[in-house]
């Protein structure tokens, strides 16, 4: 089973700042890495798939990069609605589908 480790667990930033979130896989997932945003009481929302492709309707301030085992989600300038929990997920070698533990982006 591929284990995904996200860091940091919590990121405290102010609106307008840049957020950099990391997701590391225990073995290569090629580019089959997905990023989700989740707000309280809501289902996860697809942001990025195949490591770097923005989903429909996702603002350009969200970008994904990386390959193999190391991936990054960058939010170039945080908007108030971006404060949420972010999860990575791999489906390179599934089942099982695996998720990272999440990074909470909170208002500083």
- Of 38, 1, 4, 35, the C-alpha closest to 20 is 35
Q: How far apart are CA 52 and CA 108, in angstroms?
A: 27
- Percent of the chain that is helix, strand, coil (3-state, to 5): 5, 50, 50
Task: Please give the size of the binding site for another protein, defined by CB under 8 A.
Answer: 18
Among 64, 71, 84, 100, binds another protein (CB under 8 A): 100
Which tokens hold the place of 57?
A: 């309707």
By CB under 8 A, the residues from 29 to 88 that bind another protein are 34, 36, 43-44, 46, 49, 55, 87
Report the nearest approach of another protein to the CB of residue 89 (Å): 8
* 6-25 residues near another protein, rule: CB under 8 A: none
- Judged on CB neighbours under 10 Å (0-12, 13-18, 19+), 57 is exposed
Residue 68 or 99: the one with the smaller Cβ distance to another protein is 99
Catalog residues that contact another protein under the rule CB under 8 A: 34, 36, 43-44, 46, 49, 55, 87, 89, 91, 95-102
């Amino acid at each position: 089973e591929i284990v995904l480790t996200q860091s940091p667990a919590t990121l405290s930033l102010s609106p307008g700042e840049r957020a950099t979130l990391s997701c590391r896989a225990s073995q290569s997932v090629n580019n089959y890495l997905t990023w989700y945003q989740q707000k309280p009481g809501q289902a996860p929302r697809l942001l990025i798939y195949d490591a770097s492709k923005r989903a429909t309707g996702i603002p350009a301030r969200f970008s994904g990069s990386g390959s193999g085992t190391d991936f990054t989600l960058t939010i170039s300038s945080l908007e108030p609605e971006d404060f949420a929990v972010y999860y990575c997920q791999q489906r390179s070698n599934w089942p099982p589908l695996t998720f990272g533990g999440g990074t909470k982006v909170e208002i500083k």
